[in-house]
Protein backbone atom coordinates (compact mmCIF):
# COMPACT_ATOMS: atom_id res chain seq x y z
CA UNK A 1 0.00 0.00 0.00
CA UNK A 2 1.55 3.35 -0.99
CA UNK A 3 2.28 6.03 1.55
CA UNK A 4 3.51 9.62 1.37
CA UNK A 5 6.25 11.47 3.19
CA UNK A 6 7.09 15.17 3.35
CA UNK A 7 10.64 16.49 3.45
CA UNK A 8 11.66 19.99 4.56
CA UNK A 9 14.26 20.96 1.98
CA UNK A 10 15.00 24.24 0.28
CA UNK A 11 17.54 22.81 -2.17
CA UNK A 12 16.00 19.45 -3.14
CA UNK A 13 19.14 17.65 -2.01
CA UNK A 14 19.22 17.72 1.79
CA UNK A 15 16.95 18.14 4.79
CA UNK A 16 17.92 21.67 5.74
CA UNK A 17 14.80 23.32 7.20
CA UNK A 18 13.47 23.39 10.72
CA UNK A 19 9.76 22.55 10.87
CA UNK A 20 8.61 26.02 11.92
CA UNK A 21 10.74 27.70 9.24
CA UNK A 22 9.61 25.50 6.36
CA UNK A 23 7.10 27.10 4.01
CA UNK A 24 7.12 24.20 1.60
CA UNK A 25 7.72 20.46 1.75
CA UNK A 26 8.80 18.04 -0.96
CA UNK A 27 6.20 15.27 -1.02
CA UNK A 28 7.12 11.76 -2.20
CA UNK A 29 5.01 8.65 -2.60
CA UNK A 30 6.65 5.35 -1.66
CA UNK A 31 5.18 2.16 -3.09
CA UNK A 32 6.46 -1.34 -3.85
CA UNK A 33 10.13 -0.39 -4.03
CA UNK A 34 9.54 2.82 -5.96
CA UNK A 35 9.68 6.46 -4.88
CA UNK A 36 7.88 9.10 -6.91
CA UNK A 37 8.05 12.85 -6.45
CA UNK A 38 4.50 14.18 -6.06
CA UNK A 39 4.92 17.92 -5.55
CA UNK A 40 6.60 20.81 -3.80
CA UNK A 41 3.75 21.62 -1.40
CA UNK A 42 3.49 25.25 -0.28
CA UNK A 43 2.32 26.03 3.25
CA UNK A 44 0.48 29.34 3.58
CA UNK A 45 0.53 30.38 7.21
CA UNK A 46 -1.45 33.22 8.76
CA UNK A 47 0.62 36.41 8.43
CA UNK A 48 1.69 37.89 11.75
CA UNK A 49 1.04 34.65 13.66
CA UNK A 50 3.87 32.56 15.12
CA UNK A 51 4.54 29.43 13.06
CA UNK A 52 3.75 27.29 16.11
CA UNK A 53 0.47 29.01 16.98
CA UNK A 54 -2.58 26.76 17.20
CA UNK A 55 -4.01 28.24 14.01
CA UNK A 56 -0.82 27.71 12.02
CA UNK A 57 -0.29 24.22 13.44
CA UNK A 58 -3.76 23.38 12.11
CA UNK A 59 -2.68 24.68 8.70
CA UNK A 60 0.47 22.51 8.76
CA UNK A 61 -1.55 19.46 9.83
CA UNK A 62 -4.21 19.94 7.14
CA UNK A 63 -1.62 20.58 4.42
CA UNK A 64 0.33 17.46 5.33
CA UNK A 65 -2.56 15.22 6.38
CA UNK A 66 -1.94 12.75 3.54
CA UNK A 67 1.66 12.18 4.70
CA UNK A 68 2.62 9.41 7.12
CA UNK A 69 5.86 11.10 8.12
CA UNK A 70 7.69 14.40 7.95
CA UNK A 71 11.47 14.69 7.81
CA UNK A 72 12.92 17.94 9.15
CA UNK A 73 16.24 19.27 10.40
CA UNK A 74 14.68 20.10 13.80
CA UNK A 75 11.24 20.17 15.38
CA UNK A 76 10.08 21.15 18.85
CA UNK A 77 8.44 18.64 21.18
CA UNK A 78 5.08 20.46 21.16
CA UNK A 79 4.92 20.50 17.34
CA UNK A 80 5.98 16.85 17.12
CA UNK A 81 3.31 15.84 19.65
CA UNK A 82 0.66 17.87 17.83
CA UNK A 83 1.44 16.15 14.53
CA UNK A 84 1.68 12.73 16.19
CA UNK A 85 -1.83 13.24 17.58
CA UNK A 86 -2.91 13.57 13.94
CA UNK A 87 -1.07 10.38 12.90
CA UNK A 88 1.85 12.18 11.29
CA UNK A 89 5.23 11.01 12.57
CA UNK A 90 8.19 13.38 12.63
CA UNK A 91 11.88 12.67 12.19
CA UNK A 92 14.83 14.95 12.81
CA UNK A 93 17.53 14.08 10.29
CA UNK A 94 20.71 15.48 8.83
CA UNK A 95 20.84 13.44 5.63
CA UNK A 96 20.46 13.83 1.91
CA UNK A 97 17.08 13.20 0.31
CA UNK A 98 18.65 10.30 -1.56
CA UNK A 99 19.65 8.63 1.69
CA UNK A 100 16.18 9.08 3.19
CA UNK A 101 14.41 7.73 0.11
CA UNK A 102 16.80 4.76 -0.03
CA UNK A 103 16.10 3.97 3.63
CA UNK A 104 12.33 4.27 3.11
CA UNK A 105 12.47 1.88 0.18
CA UNK A 106 14.17 -0.68 2.42
CA UNK A 107 11.73 -0.41 5.33
CA UNK A 108 8.36 1.08 6.19
CA UNK A 109 9.09 1.26 9.91
CA UNK A 110 9.00 4.88 11.12
CA UNK A 111 9.67 4.29 14.85
CA UNK A 112 8.76 6.96 17.40
CA UNK A 113 6.89 10.18 16.67
CA UNK A 114 10.19 12.02 17.05
CA UNK A 115 13.27 10.00 16.21
CA UNK A 116 16.70 10.57 14.80
CA UNK A 117 17.73 8.38 11.90
CA UNK A 118 21.11 6.85 12.65
CA UNK A 119 23.91 6.79 10.11
CA UNK A 120 24.35 3.27 8.85
Residue 26: predicted pLDDT = 98
3-state secondary structure of 50: coil
Q: Write out pLDDT tens, residues 59-92.
A: 999 999 999 999 999 999 999 999 999 999 999 9
Mean pLDDT of 48-61: 92
Please tell me what DSSP assigns to residue 113: S
Say if residue 5's pLDDT is above 90.
yes
Q: Which CATH superfamily is domain 3-116 in?
A: Dinitrogenase iron-molybdenum cofactor biosynthesis domain (3.30.420.130)
Residue 107: predicted pLDDT = 72
Is residue 40 within 8 Å of residue 57, measured between CB atoms? no
Please state the pTM of the whole predicted model.
0.86
Residue 106: predicted pLDDT = 83
Residue 108: predicted pLDDT = 58
Residue 52: predicted pLDDT = 87
Q: Write out pLDDT tens, residues 93-113.
A: 999 999 999 998 887 554 433
Q: Distance (Å, rounded) from C-alpha 34 to C-alpha 47?
A: 38
3-state secondary structure of 76: coil
Amino acid sequence: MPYRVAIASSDGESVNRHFGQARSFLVYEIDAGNASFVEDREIELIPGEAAHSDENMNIFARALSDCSAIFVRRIGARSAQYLQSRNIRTFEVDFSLNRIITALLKTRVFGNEKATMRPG
